[in-house]
Amino acid sequence: MLFMKNSGNSIISSQRSIIEEASFTPFLKKLTIFCSGGPFLDGYILVIIGVALTQLGPELGLNSFWLGMIGASSLFGLFIGGAVFGYITDLMGRQLMYMIDLITIIVCSIAQIFVTTPMELFILRFIIGIAVGADYPIATSLLAEFSPRKHRGTMLGILMIMWYVGATAASLIGYALCDVAGGWRWMLGSAAIPALIIVLGRLGTPESPRWLVSKNRLKEARAVVKMVYGPEADLIDLEQTSEKTKISKIFTGEYLKRTIFASLFWMCQIVPLFAIYTFGPTILELFGLGQGKVAILGDSLISVIFLIGCIPALYLVNSWGRRPLIIWCFGFMTLGMLILGIFPNASPWIIILGFVIYAFFSGGPNVLEWIYPNELFPTEIRASAVGLATAVSRVGAAIGTFALPYWLKSLGVETTMLIMAFVTFLGLLVCIAMAPETKGLTLSEASSISPTSPKSVEF
Q: Identify residue 320 by its one-letter amino acid code.
A: W
Domain assignment of residue 365, yes or no: yes
Q: Does residue 13 fall inside a structural domain?
A: no
Number of compact structural domains in the chain: 1
pLDDT tens sequence across 113-168: 999 888 999 999 999 989 888 888 888 888 988 988 888 888 888 888 888 889 88
- Cα–Cα distance, 173 to 448 (Å, whole number): 44
For residue 7, tell me if it sits in a domain. no
Grade residue 194 by pLDDT with cuts at 50, 70 and 90.
very high
C-beta separation of 143 from 202 below 8 A? no
Indicate which CATH number applies to the domain containing 149.
1.20.1250.20
**CA–CA distance, 22 with 20 (Å, rounded to integer):** 6
**Is it the case that residue 367 has pLDDT exceeding 60?**
yes
Euclidean distance between CA atoms 400 and 386, whole angstroms: 21
Buried b (16+ CB within 10 A) or exposed e, 154-174: bbbbbbbbbbbbbbbbbbbbb
Distance CA 9, CA 4 (A): 11
Residue 58 lies in a domain: yes
The answer to whether position 211 is within a domain reads yes
348-361 and 293-319 are packed helices; what angle lies between their axes, rounded to 10 degrees? Answer: 40
Read out DSSP for 368-380?
A: HHHHHHHHSS-GG
Per-residue pLDDT tens for 94-106? 777 777 888 999 9
Is residue 9 domain-resident? no
Alpha carbon distance 141, 313 (integer Å): 21
Q: Does a structural domain hold residue 429?
A: yes
Share of the chain above pLDDT 70, in %: 86
Range of the domain at 148: 19-447
Q: What is the pTM of this model?
A: 0.75
Calculate the alpha carbon distances from 93 to 104, 154, 189, 210, 373 in Å: 18, 24, 30, 10, 18
Query: In 3D, which of 263, 272, 317 has the Cα closest to residue 430?
Result: 263
Is 2 part of any domain?
Answer: no
| Average pLDDT taken over every residue of the chain | 82
User: Pick from 393, 416, 395, 390: which is nearest to 405 by CA?
Assistant: 416
